[in-house]
Each structure stands twice: as C-alpha cells, then as structure tokens.
Amino acid sequence: MVLRSLLLISSILFLSSCSAVKQLELFSTPVKTATLAPADPRPLTLDNLHFDVVTKDNIQEYLAEVQKEQDTEEYVFYGITPRTYELLAFNMQELKRYILQQKEIILFYKKAVE
C-alpha cells in the first residue's frame, strides 16, 4: 500500500513537472552569407611561334642556319608533316572551343551566386 501511494505521488510529481517548463518559441530569419568568388585567372601571355618551311631547295641553307643558331656541330631540329601540322591546328581549335565553353559555365555560376 505504501509502495502504491509512493508510486502515485511520484508519477503525479513527474507529470506536473513537465507543465512547469516554458515552451520554446521557434522562429527563422534568413541568414545572409558572404559570396565566395575566386579571382579571375591571369590572362595568357603567349610567345609567337615561328615555323620554317623547308624544301629540297632550301634544306642546306636551313641546316646551316640551325647549326649557327645552336652554335654546335651537332644540331637538333624538329619537323612535322603538313598533315601533322593540320592536326595540330585542329587540336588548338578544339582547345580554344573547350576553354570558351568552360568560361561560359564559370560566368553562368558567378551570375547565379550573386
């Protein structure tokens, strides 16, 4: 009997203690965040390339010029065929297209974040 009344009193105290807690008010306000935008990359500074066209008529002159320029008896030069030069030009055009598309995507996201 004592146990039953002790249990009843403790449960009444337990349940009534919840009503003494003040209810929290919930609210939300928009938080303005700082926009992080990386700096634009440094513009390209490219040097001009020079291509020599070598034929059977001017190969000796060209070899002498290369030897003089490199100032050694054993000289080196690189040659490409017209087809390889064409492929090089196509590859450069493809790189240019890709870079321009990436630039447009970056500008789109910069505007979207602002």
- Which residues does 69 contact at the CB level (< 8 Å), separation at least 6? 75
| Whole-number pLDDT of residue 55 | 92
Query: In this model, does residue 34 exceed pLDDT 80?
Result: no
- What is the percentage of the chain residues whose pLDDT exceeds 90? 28
Provide the residue type at 8 as one letter: L
Distance CA 106, CA 114 (A): 13
Q: pTM of the prediction?
A: 0.54
Distance CA 113, CA 37 (A): 9
Provide the residue type at 74 as one letter: E
| Residue 94, φ and ψ in degrees, nearest 5 | -65, -40
| Whole-number pLDDT of residue 100 | 93
- Which residues does 76 contact at the CB level (< 8 Å), separation at least 6? 70
Please, what is the average pLDDT of the chain? 83
53-80 pLDDT, tens per residue?
A: 999 999 999 989 888 888 888 888 888 9
Distance CA 114, CA 101 (A): 20
| Whole-number pLDDT of residue 21 | 63
DSSP symbol at 73: S
Q: How confident is the model at residue 20 (pLDDT cuts 50, 70, 90)?
A: low
Query: In this model, does residue 23 exceed pLDDT 80?
Result: no
Q: Which of 2-6, 18-22, 110-114 has the lowest mean pLDDT?
A: 18-22
- Which residues does 63 contact at the CB level (< 8 Å), separation at least 6? 75
113: its two tokens: 């974040």
Query: In this model, does residue 83 exceed pLDDT 90?
Result: yes
